[in-house]
Amino acid sequence: MVDMADPTFIDLIRLVKKRRWVILAVACLVMAGAYVYTQFQVPIYKAQGMVKYEPPGGGAGNANLAYWDQAASMRTQIRMLSSEDLIAAVAKKIGKPAGFSAQEVRDTSLISISATHRDPKEAADVVNAAMDVFAEKDMAERSTTARKALEDVSSRRREIEASLAQLEEVRKEYLENNPGTGMGGALTSNLVELEARRREMLKRFTPEHPEVVAIDQRLQSVRARLSKTPGQDLELERLNRDIKVNEEIYIALSKQVEESKVALSGIPIFVTIISRAAPPPAPFYPRKQMNYLMGLAFGLALGLIAAFMLESMDVSISTIEEIESVTGMPVLAVVPHLGVGKRWENLKKGILRKERYSLDAFRSMLLFHQKAKSPAVEVYHSLRSAIQSASPGIDHRVLAFTSTGVAEGKTLTSINFSLAAAHAGLKVLLVGADLRRPVLYRIFGLPKQPGFMEALSGKGDWKGMTYGTVDFLMGEVDLDKLLSFSGIDNFKVMTGWAESTSDVVNLLSADLLPKFIESARPHFDYIVFDCPPTLLFVDSVLIAAHCDAAVMVYQTGKMARQALKRAKDQLTAANVKILGLVLNDMQSSAVVAGYSYYDGYSYYEKQD
């Protein structure tokens, strides 16, 4: 168990390595949820267009528009774009409800208009319609004053034109009713004719045109002569004077009409469409990459939380210091995780928490399948040295290998320890003493019996019940690997199998076991008993009581600390000498913070 009270960085790294499958599983679940959520979201497309709002000459240094506050004006235009009237005008233009937003582009005179919709084309249509309506309304609002001025001047000109026509009609009637006006009448008729011609010419020419000027001169001459006519022509003169005044007013109004038309057509454009919206090729929502990244981050965070929770509830022990502190026993060796080379086997063991490997996978972890300088080989040789140091002065050692619970690797450890000792030139007898669940005969492909039970029962000479190299060759192990393993001739196996387990305890409690040990001891440097788990059966206690010492195998993180302590207490209660613990199947690269035993071994292995 990683220390969560005051964790260091190394503790956190160890936690991640230890609980990596939990972290990955939670992360994958959250990622799958994020993927499903994203796939079920309706895609939303976002179209965007750009308009420029800037009065002509509105830049810095223009004195005529120095009062113009660009920032305030831009805010005003943004509000206008968001007004209900403009939104209604856009909806009317496209024939359906419209929704869009406007935002000022910082430090520019640009306004960004965007719209979202399930249909990319409709989103673009809304933006384009909004830009068109905005430009049209801006132009319409600023042209209202000029248009009103044009309408007022035109109306006034029509009134003067009607008044002038009425005066001319009165003058005509006067001349018809007073034919004896003499010279005045002729002059007046000439005057009327010249004035009529002048009005016609003003429709095509300006008052400064030479022909108009010539007529003006003739009119001036006629009026001068008419002024010298007798008093009976005074009424006619008054009419002529009124007509002249109205003509001058008419000319002035006509000039104002033309000027108003020019002003109306020359209104400056403040709103310019910079870029029209096009249907977006990809949806704006959902943001798939963002959702997946957030799902991954959230999944990893939840995975770490789950790992912390599991670790806080873990009652097992995993560090050398903690194991030695709880049990009071030294750690003799730390056996690394032996990859079986088969992904499915590793997957079942790692993720599915399968208790045991298949038979072929188990065989692949035997010592003669490992490289000569692999960490596993070096660890088992170190274990042999540690056992020799822990039990000095004994030439022929009898050891019992046991564990707290099932599937902690005691059988693999006892086999590989025996092979390591044989490889070192020592004669070794491995006894299958796990009579409740015998497995040695299956591993090496040997007969079930005769074996340990028959040797204890005295059904024959125990020497004839051991199996060696020739028997292994007849079995199911890899012959090439076996024969290439130096010292295999020093390795003997005695299988163990009981037809009925009811008499196992009675048989082990009798005096037959010590007699067998004393008989076999002189022939071997090591006699190794592969015993059943201590907490499950009393067999291991009965066997270990007659051995020189016992070695406990513990797979870190598998059994609770109290279970390990109770197994140790059962053995010590029977006066069994426990040499120490073998930590088996270590997944992490460091059992002591900051140092990895296996990396050191691997360094020397790579030198080849």
Q: Is residue 513 exposed (0-12), middle (13-18) or buried (19+ Cβ within 10 Å)?
A: buried
Tell me: domain 330-606, CATH 1.20.1250.20, correct? Answer: no
Q: At which residue do the structure tokens 């409690």 appear?
A: 509
**Does the structure show a pLDDT above 50 at 483?**
yes
The rounded distance, in Å, linking the Cα atoms of 61 and 128 is 34
Q: What integer pLDDT is reported at residue 4 of this predicted model?
A: 54
For the chain, the domains span 330-606
Which runs of consecutive H residues, i.e. helices, occur in 266-372? 288-313, 320-327, 343-350, 359-363
CA-nearest of 390, 275, 410 to 331 is 390
**Does the structure show a pLDDT above 70 at 251?**
yes
Average pLDDT in the chain: 81
HSE of 300, CA atoms in CB hemisphere, 13 A: 6
Among 4-8, 175-179, 540-544, 598-602, the range scoring the smallest mean pLDDT is 598-602
Segment 294-340, tens digit of pLDDT: 999 999 999 999 988 887 776 666 677 777 777 888 999 998 877 65
Token digits of residue 232? 């009976």
Q: What integer pLDDT is reported at residue 340 of this predicted model?
A: 54
β-strand partners of 555:
584
List, as one string, the DSSP characters of 237-262.
HHHHHHHHHHHHHHHHHHHHHHHHHH
* 578-586 β-sheet, strand order: 331-336, 578-586, 549-555, 397-403, 526-530, 428-432, 491-494
The rounded distance, in Å, linking the Cα atoms of 593 and 140 is 79
Segment 252-270, tens digit of pLDDT: 888 888 877 776 676 677 8
Q: At which residue do the structure tokens 């002509």 appear?
A: 56
Q: What integer pLDDT is reported at residue 314 of this predicted model?
A: 67
The rounded distance, in Å, linking the Cα atoms of 492 and 429 is 5
| Percentage of the residues of the chain whose pLDDT score is greater than 70 | 85
The rounded distance, in Å, linking the Cα atoms of 120 and 420 is 73
Token digits of residue 511? 């005096």
Among 142-156, 324-338, 447-461, the range scoring the smallest mean pLDDT is 142-156
pTM more than 0.85 = no
Cβ(581)–Cβ(330) below 8 Å: yes
Token digits of residue 488? 């295999």
Q: What integer pLDDT is reported at residue 184 of this predicted model?
A: 63
Q: How many residues does the chain have?
A: 608
Of 28-37, 278-287, 448-457, highest mean pLDDT: 28-37
Instruction: Say if strands 526-530 and 397-403 run parallel, antiparallel, or are unpaired.
Output: parallel
Average pLDDT over residues 360-369: 84
The rounded distance, in Å, linking the Cα atoms of 77 and 55 is 12
CA-nearest of 341, 363, 373, 362 to 482 is 363
